[in-house]
Amino acid sequence: MHARPASTPPGVVVWAVGDVHGRLDLLNPLLDAIEADAANSDAERKVVVMLGDYVDRGPDSRGVIDRLLHLPQGDGRERRLLRGNHEDRMEAFLSDPELGPGWCDYGGREALRSYGVTPPAMRGDADGWARAARALNKAMGPDHRAFLCDLEYSVVIGDYFFAHAGARPGVALADQSQQDLMWVRNAFLSDPRPFERVVVHGHTPQDVLVADHRRIGVDTGAYATGVLSAVRLEGTTRTLIQTVVEGRAVSVRRAPLSG
């Protein structure tokens, strides 16, 4: 357990963004707010950590990846893009069309359509899934395929450990499996034992952010709720930033995050 509150290193500010799932309409204003915040910050190192699950379920997976490819880098700015289980399945489908029906059960149809690819109507249409995989490979192009290939499984900054799903209790953070970093859920959420660092994660949607001495959960189910969340970490301060659909408009909200 931490003898002192978790903190980023001196001169470092981090924005960790939860699961986007194709909601470019929420991501754009959130990243605009982060950009404005970064421009006004005196921090020497400014890091945007995307926690994974950029694709599937929502309407514009393609647009989300395009936006993330253009996040600022250099002159003290960093982008750290983590691999979620949905990116893992999307990339796997590119080389193994048989995975298509399972992927589409969890939002892959929306991702395919965002690239202009029509998924087969029948689960057992092997030729149709093979055609869809070829069409997706072509529509994604080398930049989007490289995006998937280059995603990281975890990032450490100060007293914080960032991963898509969480971590396996009883295993050192440095020894976590790639599978657990993308997929773990109940074992991580239900175990009260703290890790060497506070784990910042997405993967499990919740109505409100959970923030305590052990973890910060940043997935508020944007594709279904219309609420996309991020946490800003600087020193020992934690701030919640959200974009929220209100009628036909999207508003940005900020609030202190205790825990």
Mean pLDDT score, 156-178: 98
Mean pLDDT score, 8-24: 98
Q: What is the pLDDT of residues 86-139, one digit of tens each?
A: 999 999 999 999 999 999 999 999 999 999 999 999 999 999 999 999 999 999
Please state, in angstroms and rounded to a whole number, the distance separating the CA atoms of residues 110 and 60: 8
Note the CATH number of domain 12-84+152-256: 3.60.21.10
Q: Out of 25-39, 49-63, 244-258, which region has the weakest mean confidence (pLDDT)?
A: 244-258
Residue 2 has pLDDT above 50, yes or no: no
Please state, in angstroms and rounded to a whole number, the distance separating the CA atoms of residues 147 and 91: 10
Please state, in angstroms and rounded to a whole number, the distance separating the CA atoms of residues 47 and 243: 19
Domain ranges of the chain: 12-84+152-256, 86-150
Residue 45 has pLDDT above 60, yes or no: yes
Q: What is the pLDDT of residues 211-233, one digit of tens each?
A: 998 999 999 999 999 999 999 99
The confidence score (pLDDT) of residue 27 equals 98
- Please give the mean pLDDT across all residues of the chain: 96
Q: What is the pLDDT of residues 69-94, one digit of tens each?
A: 999 999 999 999 999 999 999 999 99
Angle at 170 between CA 167 and CA 176, to 5 degrees: 40
**Residue 1 banded pLDDT, cuts 50, 70, 90:** very low
Mean pLDDT score, 139-160: 98
Please state, in angstroms and rounded to a whole number, the distance separating the CA atoms of residues 98 and 104: 11
Count of residues making up the chain: 259
Place of tokens 């029509």: 118
The confidence score (pLDDT) of residue 258 equals 81
The confidence score (pLDDT) of residue 3 equals 60
| % of the chain at pLDDT higher than 90 | 95
**Long-range contacts (CB closer than 8 Å, 24 or more residues apart) made by 121-126:** 126/97, 126/98
Please state, in angstroms and rounded to a whole number, the distance separating the CA atoms of residues 24 and 30: 10
| % of the chain at pLDDT higher than 70 | 99
The confidence score (pLDDT) of residue 242 equals 97
Give backbone dihedrals phi and psi of 211, rounded to 5 degrees, phi first: -140, 115
pTM of the model: 0.97
